[in-house]
Amino acid sequence: MLGMIIFTSGSILAGFSPGAYLLTAARGLMGIGGGMIMPATLSLITNIFPEEERPKAIGVWAGMAGIGVAVGPLAGGILLTFFPWGSVFFVNVPIAAAGIVTISILVPGSKTPNAPPIDIKGAVLSFTGLIALFYGLIQGPGRGWTDAGVIIGFTLAAVLLALFVWLELHTPNPILEIRFFKVPEFSSGVLSIAIGFFALFGLLYVLTIYLQSVLSYSPMKAGLALMPFAVVLLILSPVIPRFVRALSARVVVASGLVLTGAGMVVFTQVSTTTAYPLILLGLLLVSIGMTSAQVPSSDAIMGSIPKEKAGEGSATNAAIRQIGSSLGIALIGGITQLGYSSTIVKSAAYQALGSSAAAGAKDGLAGALQVGSQMGSSGDAIVEAAKSAFVRGLDAGMFMTAVVAFVGAAVAFRFIPKKTRT
């Protein structure tokens, strides 16, 4: 409930933000609230439902989480069509208010007696280490991987995260129980979730740009284009446990990652004039694959540790989702941008631009489209060149993601046990 209140407060602040800095701070406040909500939901499910019902409950939970990701763009597109941009944040307020009331009525209390102190040192080390890692990943494609700042970022990340692991192994109440990773079900489940969300959020990031800036979809039309993803999650998530019982978690998770990789391969075939059926095929493969991998992976994580450690397991699950998502956006977005910038500079339309216009066009697809619009009809050449360059970059990002998914499938098939041990 406290997380919902903080998240709602951040939403209100974001909706009223007059500039980018306050908006970013408000989004950070929303992140704090969301970070309190997600681990609590899964740990509550683990403790409320008996073992035989837990997989189905986690299936519903995973389905709703995925639906939120997919429905968000559609809801945002509808709101932006009829209301100011702040409405995408204000819409959270009545939903969160209904959630707070429902939680207070339906969710039982679950306070842990003699709760251990919070591992502040571990939290600070992991936070700063991940910031340094993401800084290097985001800045690398633009500045170059040998840039001093990028190298410092990666070095600092390696030192801080190594120190974090050492600290967690030697503190009585770690924020992350490293020893859990000795359990094959836990470690393979964590890896599968990380790869799935890496692929999903990286795809959504570049696909949204592709739909709106390359294919010229409106925000609402782009949201509608992503809707099949949500429909598949809604239908498939609750029934995945049946497939696990019939085929084993090993087969279902590995097959899901293979399908996710296959969907990414489909997206390497898009062009500046691709018809929607090809995009739909890629979305269906990724959504079926994501659902197949995530539900049994979450159940494997929560079922392989003691119930009294459900909070730690759920927090790990939530953290891995966020880390995978952030890595996907940073790395896939970075590779797409690198492919774009290395391709656009070779085009005749780019080489014909003045220095200031060329700098804007090289900066990204949005900059090139702005340069083209300022040039009138003579800017058509740079617009088409920029769209083609972005597609080349998208191809590279999707190919890399497909390789990661296929490798993850092999690892899952090798290390997930045939039968989950409690």
Average pLDDT, the chain: 85
pLDDT, one tens digit per residue, over 385-399 is 889 999 999 999 999
User: Which pLDDT score, from 0 to 100, does residue 268 have?
Assistant: 92
Q: State the amino acid at position 161 in one-letter form.
A: L
Which pair of structure tokens corresponds to residue 84? 């100011």
Q: Which residue has the higher pLDDT, 142 or 48?
A: 48
Question: What 3 state SS string does 24-87 have?
Answer: HHHHHHHHHHHHHHHHHHHHHHHHHCCCCCHHHHHHHHHHHHHHHHHHHHHHHHHHHHHCCCCH
> What's the rounded Cα separation, in Å, for the pair 75 and 90?
12
pLDDT, one tens digit per residue, over 164-194 is 999 988 888 887 778 888 887 788 888 888 8
The stretch 352-381 carries a mean pLDDT of 80
User: Which pLDDT score, from 0 to 100, does residue 278 have?
Assistant: 94
User: Which pLDDT score, from 0 to 100, does residue 418 have?
Assistant: 67
Residue 146 sits at the vertex; the CA angle it makes with 142 and 147, to the nearest 5 degrees, is: 60
pLDDT, one tens digit per residue, over 96-117 is 999 999 988 988 876 767 777 7
DSSP-based helix, strand, coil % in the chain, nearest 5: 85, 0, 15
pLDDT, one tens digit per residue, over 301-343 is 777 777 767 667 777 777 788 888 888 888 888 888 888 888 8
User: Which pLDDT score, from 0 to 100, does residue 267 have?
Assistant: 93
The stretch 271-292 carries a mean pLDDT of 91
User: Which pLDDT score, from 0 to 100, does residue 320 have?
Assistant: 82
What percent of the chain lies above the pLDDT cut of 70? 96
User: Which pLDDT score, from 0 to 100, does residue 12 have?
Assistant: 95
Q: Which residues contact 19 (CB under 8 A, 6 or more apart)?
A: none
User: Which pLDDT score, from 0 to 100, does residue 66 have?
Assistant: 66
User: Which pLDDT score, from 0 to 100, does residue 46 have?
Assistant: 76
> What's the rounded Cα separation, in Å, for the pair 334 and 143?
11
User: Which pLDDT score, from 0 to 100, does residue 29 have?
Assistant: 94
For the cut 60, the answer to whether the pLDDT of residue 134 exceeds it is: yes
Least confident of 64-68, 100-104, 149-153: 64-68
The string of DSSP codes covering 245-293 is HHH-HHHHHHHHHHHHHHHHHHHTT--TT--HHHHHHHHHHHHHHHHHH
Tally the residues of the chain: 422
Backbone φ and ψ of 131, nearest 5°: -60, -45
Q: State the amino acid at position 131 in one-letter form.
A: I
The stretch 274-297 carries a mean pLDDT of 89
